Amino acid sequence: MSVITQRFFIVIGCFIAAITGGLLLEMLLSFQAGWPFGHTQTGHIVGWAGLAVILMVFVYSAKKRFGRKAGWPKGWFWVHKIAGVLGPVLILIHAGPHFHALIPILTLLTMVIVVISGVIGVAVHRKAVVLLKDTHSELLSEGLSKDDVEDRLHDLASGEEAFRVWQIIHTPMVMLFLALVIAHILGALYYGGV
């Protein structure tokens, strides 16, 4: 089995484990509460926590957009990836498999699409870094440190064509997800009270 195939199965396995774990925990908490956990006060808090973690995902995007000279691109990329999985798991515990109103259903659906496309994006980005082998050697011969080379490669991989094509799908879905999240929160506060 090749390294890429191994990684593919590890990612799929973690993905299924995260979804199953989140749903099982929600079922347990709903059983204890006597009705859907997301409708309880603790369920609301978990929803807000999930949103806070998800918002951390955008630090990487914001730094790319506004802080070009700022460092630690790989670090923020890690935060982007970890928060991009942890936040949705918290939202999954908040939501559970209880589908009734259209707005929360669509919000959850777009979140799942964003997470799946995000995981695909990580693979595309990784592939782009691997393909920049020649550049890697050139940068090392220029006398850059190993960390600096890694940062530059990370940056260059973001400009690769395959990654750009993926970005055209991922970004609009993120925007749609954010619009639905805002609608869901406003609706919950309007009907449920602040």
Partner 1 sequence: MRFLPLPSGSVRFIIIATVALIAWLVWGTFNHPEALWAPGNLSRFHTDITDCSDCHQPFRGPTANKCIACHDNKHFAAQSRPAVAKFHQQSISEGKACSDCHTEHRGALAQITVGAMVNPHGEFVFRATGTNSCSACHDLSAGVASQTNLLDNATVKHLMEEGEGAHRPGKIANCLRCHAGGRKDVEEEEDDD
Alpha-carbon distance of 130 to 115, in angstroms, equals 23
Instruction: Find the part of the chain contacting partner 1 (CB under 8 A) among 51-59, 113-121, 129-137, 164-172.
Output: 164-172
Which residues in the 92-121 window bind partner 1 by CB under 8 A? Answer: 98, 100-104
Q: Please report the sign of the dihedral spanned by the C-alpha atoms of residue 188, residue 191, residue 193, residue 194.
A: positive
Alpha-carbon distances, residue 5 vs 2, 11, 125, 130 (angstroms): 5, 10, 16, 15
Single out the residue of 26, 30, 36, 121 in contact with partner 1 (rule: CB under 8 A): 36
C-alpha 8 chain-centroid distance: 17
Single out the residue of 5, 141, 143, 194 in contact with partner 1 (rule: CB under 8 A): 194
Give yes or no for residue 73 binding partner 1 (CB under 8 A).
yes
- For partner 1, the closer CB: 53 or 80: 80
Supply the angle between the helices 102-131 and 146-157 in degrees, to the nearest 10.
120
Alpha-carbon distances, residue 74 vs 77, 90, 132, 164, 169 (angstroms): 5, 24, 16, 18, 22
Single out the residue of 39, 44, 127, 136 in contact with partner 1 (rule: CB under 8 A): 39
Instruction: Find the part of the chain contacting partner 1 (CB under 8 A) among 9-17, 44-52, 67-75, 126-134.
Output: 67-75
CA angle at residue 34 from 28 to 38, to 5 degrees?
A: 70
- For partner 1, the closer CB: 5 or 41: 41
Binding site for partner 1 (CB under 8 A): 35-36, 39, 63-65, 67-68, 70, 73, 98, 100-104, 155, 158-159, 164, 167-168, 171-172, 175-176, 179-180, 183, 187, 189-194
